Structure 1
Amino acid sequence: MNDLFQDAITLMLVGMGFVFLFLTILVFATSLMSKLVNKYFPEAQPAPASGPAPAAKQSGSEIDQDVMAVIAAAVSKYRSRHKK
Structure 2
Amino acid sequence: MNNLINDGFGLMLLGMGFVFVFLCLLIIATGLMSKLINQYFPEATPVAKKPSVAPTTSNSASATDPKITAAITAAIHQHRNR
**Per-residue deviation, residues 12-71 of structure 1 (Å, max 9, x unmatched):** 0000000000000000000000000001001111111123278xxxxxxxxxxxxxxxxx
Structure 1 match to 2:15: 15
Structure 1 match to 2:37: 37
Structure 2 match to 1:47: 47
Measure the CA separation in 1 of the matches of 2:49 and 2:12: 60
Aligned length: 54
Unaligned runs of 5+ in 1: 55-84
Q: Following superposition, which runs of at least 4 residues in structure 1 exceed 6 angstroms of deviation?
A: none
Say whether 1:6 aligns with 2:41: no
Q: TM-score, normalised by structure 1?
A: 0.60
Q: Which has the larger radius of gyration?
A: 2
Q: TM-score, normalised by structure 2?
A: 0.61
Structure 2 match to 1:60: none
Measure the CA separation in 2 of the matches of 1:2 and 1:11: 14
Per residue, is there more helix in 1 or in 2? 1
Percent same amino acid among aligned pairs?
56
